[in-house]
Amino acid sequence: MVKVKEKIKLEDLPGVGAATAEKLRDAGFDNVLSIAVASPGELVEASGLGEASARKIINYVRQKMDMGFESGIDVLKKREQIQRISTGSKNFDAILGGGFETGSISECYGEFGSAKSQIAHQLAVNVQLPKEQGGAEGKVVFIDSESTFRPERIIEMAKAVGLDPEKVLANIKVARAFNSDHQMLLTEKAEDLIKDGDVKLIVVDSLMSHFRSDFSGRGQLADRQQKLNKHMHTLMKLANSYNICVYVTNQVMAKPDTFFGDPTVPIGGNIVAHNSATRVYLRPGKKGTRVAKLVDSPHLADGAAIFMVKGEGVRDI
């Protein structure tokens, strides 16, 4: 757990006056923790300071904070603050240890019609439920990159769980992203909404759509991955700093050199894989069912669950 040894204002930092402090706040660096975990380059870009001055500020803040090692007991206590948001299906929740957890990024990938967006809508409703009903009593930030958000679907799902549809919709802040730069900007701006209210879920549907179209061909792959890495780190920072569940959907492609088994793989490569704590592969099943396969988790065993998307939402068969 990071602790501040003494209360520090931005104006108290070495070389930071009122004008520089205002620039830092406008860029989202409104507390010393955000500066402590920043890179010198980020501070230079935000404030116009030189790199040496930025390093001096970061080192000063880190010395004033308890950012060293912590025991496994401390980590366990921190993990006890994690909340789990129900998918609406008990089978699906079971392979996730109770639902999608806060404090990390969870990714669902699959082909068209595999229920990625349906789950996004269901989580946007269920997160507003009381904790004893599989919710987190929180609000939602929904970044829509493929024009998939449907308020009509939210109304159906909200009525099915006994919530007031108008209140549920009012607690969901939706923004349509038109390209990868806009998507990254919206993610950064989401922090303002988080500070103003009890946001417990960020949805990005879909994560790779714009990155895939904005960067085409192998010649742009390195630039795409570098930009994507920054985007994923912003999402991870929000998840960790505010104990929020970040749910992202991802597209897939068929791997041409796979001769046996399922050739379907998520796009985004290792950048997305390493930053997503929980990864779930979704695919259509028999007789209108969907299959969710947990393919990666730091603490859960691999497993699979069968569920359905019904009129009232994501449910067991």
Return the CATH number at 41: 1.10.150.20
Q: Within this chain, do residues 170 and 305 fall inside the same structural domain, yes or no? A: yes
Read off the pLDDT of each residue in 118-123 and give the average, rounded to a whole number.
98
Q: Answer with the one of 14, 33, 66 that is the final residue of a domain.
A: 66
- Give residue for tokens 């830092």: 24
Read off the pLDDT of each residue in 74-78 and give the average, rounded to a whole number.
89
Q: Within this chain, do residues 176 and 278 fall inside the same structural domain, yes or no? A: yes
pLDDT bucket at 255, cuts 50 / 70 / 90:
confident
- Whether the link from the prior residue into 216 is cis, omega within 30° of 0, is no
Q: Within this chain, do residues 33 and 90 fall inside the same structural domain, yes or no? A: no
Q: Kindly report the CATH number assigned to the domain that includes residue 186.
A: 3.40.50.300
Q: Within this chain, do residues 285 and 203 fall inside the same structural domain, yes or no? A: yes
- Give residue for tokens 């004033």: 64
Read off the pLDDT of each residue in 38-63 and give the average, rounded to a whole number.
91
Read off the pLDDT of each residue in 103-107 and give the average, rounded to a whole number.
97
Read off the pLDDT of each residue in 197-203 and give the average, rounded to a whole number.
95
Domain range enclosing 22: 3-66
pLDDT of residue 1: 44
Q: Within this chain, do residues 49 and 116 fall inside the same structural domain, yes or no? A: no
Q: Answer with the one of 66, 87, 108 that is the final residue of a domain.
A: 66
Q: Answer with the one of 66, 87, 112 that is the final residue of a domain.
A: 66
Q: Within this chain, do residues 160 and 307 fall inside the same structural domain, yes or no? A: yes
In a domain, 71, yes or no: no
Q: Within this chain, do residues 36 and 61 fall inside the same structural domain, yes or no? A: yes
Q: Within this chain, do residues 61 and 134 fall inside the same structural domain, yes or no? A: no
Q: What angle do CA 225, 195, 171 make, to 5 degrees?
A: 90
SS3 label, residue 231: helix
pLDDT of residue 262: 77
Q: Within this chain, do residues 81 and 52 fall inside the same structural domain, yes or no? A: no
Copy the structure tokens of residue 14.
């070495």
Strands (DSSP E) contained in 129-191 are 139-144, 172-176
Parallel/antiparallel/unpaired status of strands 199-205 and 139-144: parallel
Q: Within this chain, do residues 18 and 117 fall inside the same structural domain, yes or no? A: no
Percent of the chain whose pLDDT exceeds 90: 75
Q: What's the domain count of the chain?
A: 2
Q: Within this chain, do residues 16 and 162 fall inside the same structural domain, yes or no? A: no
